[in-house]
Amino acid sequence: MQGEEILGKIIATSGDEFYTPMPKDYKPGKTKYVVVTGSVISGIGKGTISSTLCKLLQDRGLEVEPIKLEAYLNVDAGTLNPFRHGEVFVLDDGTETDLDLGTYERMLDKNLGKDNFVTSGRIYANIIEKERAGKYLGRDVQFIPHVTGEIKKVLRDLAVKTKADAIVIEIGGTVGDYENMFALEALRELHYEEGHGNVCFINITYILQPKTLGEQKSKAAQLGIKRMIELGIQPDIIVCRSESKLHDSIRKKISLNVNVPLENVFGVNDVSNIYSLPLALRKTGFDEAVLDVVGLNKRFKTNGNKVIREWNKKTSVHGKAQPLAVAIAGKYTGCADTYISILKALEHCSFKLNRKVKVKWVDTTELEARDVKKALSDVDGVIIPGGFGIRGIEGKVAVAKYCRENDIPYLGLCLGFQVALIEIARDKLGLKEANSTEFEPKTPHPVIDILPEQKKIEGLGGNMRLGGKDVELKPGTIAAKIHDNEKTIRRRFRHRFECNPEYIEQFEKAGVVFSGKAPGQPIMQVLELPKHCFFMASQFHPEFTSRPLHPDELFLEFARACEKK
């Protein structure tokens, strides 16, 4: 029985056991679903594998749409600690997501939106809102069928809205987590409802290789996959992540013990450049196997891998490339994922310039002014990234001062923009107690402050300027020049505090050029010091829109300045 026949027997009413809300104009079978789950441990690259699959399907001519179903109860990722969960990535529509959405955008070279990221918290919030409005007609609201029904509706809404040939669904966490069990149950139901050949399950597992033994072990992977089977989901394809190349004996053990054909068990070992994965996985037949499960292998053919090979060439550093040393001065330096988009933006520049970027982490939490020279003695340039809170601020101010006074390339991002202004106000304007009201509410010189219109907005995440917004560039400035003299660019923001308009004139008299601002408003968004080798900062986050073949202009100009040093 295929999807349309099954769904025809399901009554989508609030009081029915088969409660399955269905979007208008939805046609079963028109969109295929590929579900990517994890087992054994988290953090093994589900997002990377999923985005690579999206790239491979896109290369074949499919309209593909990714979505991540996160297990946690937060409505979005905006309030998560970067140490625990990595950076908060901001989409153009202002949705705060986890870092995997950045991986999807960079791989597919397309902007995603709120429909591509859904948390359990958002699902539950929708259900509670409906229940309070009496939408369930007095029925007791349950995980099955209401929570699972809401999850399936999110996926089908995305299918209708995007008209995608395939939707790649990444499930956060690992099989066996209590948090994602209802998402997995919803996808089991989706498979039942859509019918055979319309849903493909991929499990990404990890093959342990204890150093004391020196050999790969598959038992943990087997148990993790069997846990998935116990939940009623038989995986169609297994991807085995490992440090070294997967042994054939391990593939055979996995195949035999979890009922997956040997040709559908793939190995992916660690690589230094994730952009090489599309070509590597294409050679194994990975995307061919996925399309075979959902019956699209004959419809979407490859074009001789020409485009993927060209992509692979352009996203690599070739030959004996010279190193470029860049310091990232922040307070989350113990977790690289916190600044993953910055690292990727630098990587994109390395492809363009054919330089090997080496990052030096500088923790500003305990950094004293007298120690800055030593900390920056072996770098070609410095980035001060975004962030919130007072910890490490004075260290960042000291770094900005040293870069300005010693002609070291400086790129400030969001908080780095504010730090630069605080330092200049103290040193060049003579306002020794200048500060941001975020760090010192009673400062006599609030050069950084929440603007009046922001103060009226309630809620921790609500009073931030979030998402893509236009930036008006001042003609004749460095910012205008590096952006091909465009009058307006669009970039993504995530901040509460701004340059206080009352101090703009003083800053300009001291030599600061505000080369970017909000159209029609005195909200400064780009600053530069023209006499410096490179001293620029933006209130927005250029790293969020940098792409492998199109590095962000600010980052690229910064990298070129580092080259000259």
Give me the active site residues, please.
414, 541, 543
- Phi first, then psi, for residue 59 (nearest 5°) are -65, -30
| Residues 6+ positions from 378 with CB-CB distance below 8 Å | 325, 360
- Which amino acid appears at position 333 of this protein? T
Report the C-alpha gap between 120 and 528 in whole angstroms. 43
Say if residues 466 and 94 touch (Cβ distance below 8 Å): yes
Q: What is the dihedral of CA 449, 451, 457, 461, to 10 degrees?
A: -50
Q: What is the DSSP string of 35-76?
A: EEEE-SSS-SSHHHHHHHHHHHHHHTT--EEEEEEE-SSSSS
Q: What is the dihedral of CA 442, 447, 451, 456, to 10 degrees?
A: -10
Q: Which residues pair with 435 in a beta bridge?
A: 446
Report the C-alpha gap between 193 and 196 in whole angstroms. 9
Report the C-alpha gap between 107 and 100 in whole angstroms. 11
- Phi first, then psi, for residue 15 (nearest 5°) are -100, 0
Q: Which residues pair with 203 in a beta bridge?
A: 37, 238
Helical segments of 376-476, H only: 393-405, 415-427, 452-455
